[in-house]
Structure 1
Amino acid sequence: MTDDSLRSVTVERISTGHFVATNARGGRIAFGSAGDPQDGTAFTPVELLLAALGGCSAVDVDLATGRHAEPDRFTVAVTGHKTDDDLGNRLTGLQVAFHVTFPDGAGADRARAILPRAVKASHDRLCTVSRTVEAGTPVATTVTTTAEDA
């Protein structure tokens, strides 16, 4: 693996159940538990996962179709069912549904024609997020302590 392949975020606790993730470019997104102490609208980690699934494919599909025409509507609905079974808490039945419309015109006709192929290519090989979820990539966790913690 090269340094160019590394992707990372840092998650920092702000208060009970409230966190901020920061990327290497300084972008920040707040999230928390369902009982978020702020105004209750913050995304939960599960909702962020759903957004990542839809967002990854949305970027791929938008880049492919947007070369031909600007969409009138471009919405991606992502759903899954939270399940607690012998495997623990997880999402099942994940679905990513594209709702895209284009105006009239030759460019829009081309965009409409390639839309299904772009969605399939994103799912089958381009979207890192859904490819990682479907591959079942293991997640390693560690705990680092400092002298102050001892």
Structure 2
Amino acid sequence: MSEKSARSVTVERTSTGHFVATNARGGTISFGTGSDSEFTPVELLLAALGGCTAVDVDLATTRHAEPDAFSVQVSGNKVNDELGNRLTDLAVAFTVTFPDGEGADRARTILPRAVKTSHDRLCTVSRTVEIGTPVTATVEDA
């Protein structure tokens, strides 16, 4: 794996049920079990699904016009069945509005194609979830 393709974060426990993830650039995000306002890991996954496509769509449309509103609603249903705990019925719904004007008209035209292209080819998060990638969990020497 090349340095350009490798991705990683480090997750550290800060207290019972609370953690901080740190990326290679030093950015951090805290999360936990849902006992307070912190995001849960499932909510982070939903945010990653919406955020990945949001970045692609934002870059494609804002070349032409700044949106008046830009929000992404991401949802899924948590189930526990013979396959274990998992999410089903994942959905990413965009609500984007642009002002009047020629550039905004172009952005409105591009919007559906940008969402589809991100979902079908560009967004690493949704592509990974849809295609399915094995996850290996190990315990390193303490």
Task: Please say which structure displays the higher CA radius of gyration.
Answer: 1
Between the aligned partners of 2:131 and 2:103, the Cα distance in structure 1 is 36
Partner residue of 1:121 out of 113, 117, 136: 117
Between the aligned partners of 1:34 and 1:128, the Cα distance in structure 2 is 26
Matches within 5 A, 1:1-150: 1-35=1-35, 40-146=36-142
Q: Please, what is the CA RMSD of the aligned residues?
A: 0.5
Between the aligned partners of 1:33 and 1:93, the Cα distance in structure 2 is 22
Listed as ranges, the gaps of 5+ residues in structure 2 are: none
Give how far 1:145 is off: 1.8
Listed as ranges, the gaps of 5+ residues in structure 1 are: none
Give how far 1:138 is off: 0.5
Between the aligned partners of 1:23 and 1:108, the Cα distance in structure 2 is 35
| Cα-to-partner distance string for 1:75-118 (whole Å, 9 max, x where unaligned) | 00000000000110000000000000000000000000010000
Between the aligned partners of 1:43 and 1:108, the Cα distance in structure 2 is 34
TM-score (norm 2): 0.99
Number of residue pairs the alignment of both structures matches: 142
Q: Identity over the aligned pairs, expressed in percent? A: 75
Matched residue type, 1:19: F
Between the aligned partners of 2:104 and 2:51, the Cα distance in structure 1 is 22
Between the aligned partners of 1:128 and 1:12, the Cα distance in structure 2 is 24
Give how far 1:20 is off: 0.2
TM-score (norm 1): 0.94
Between the aligned partners of 1:3 and 1:123, the Cα distance in structure 2 is 25
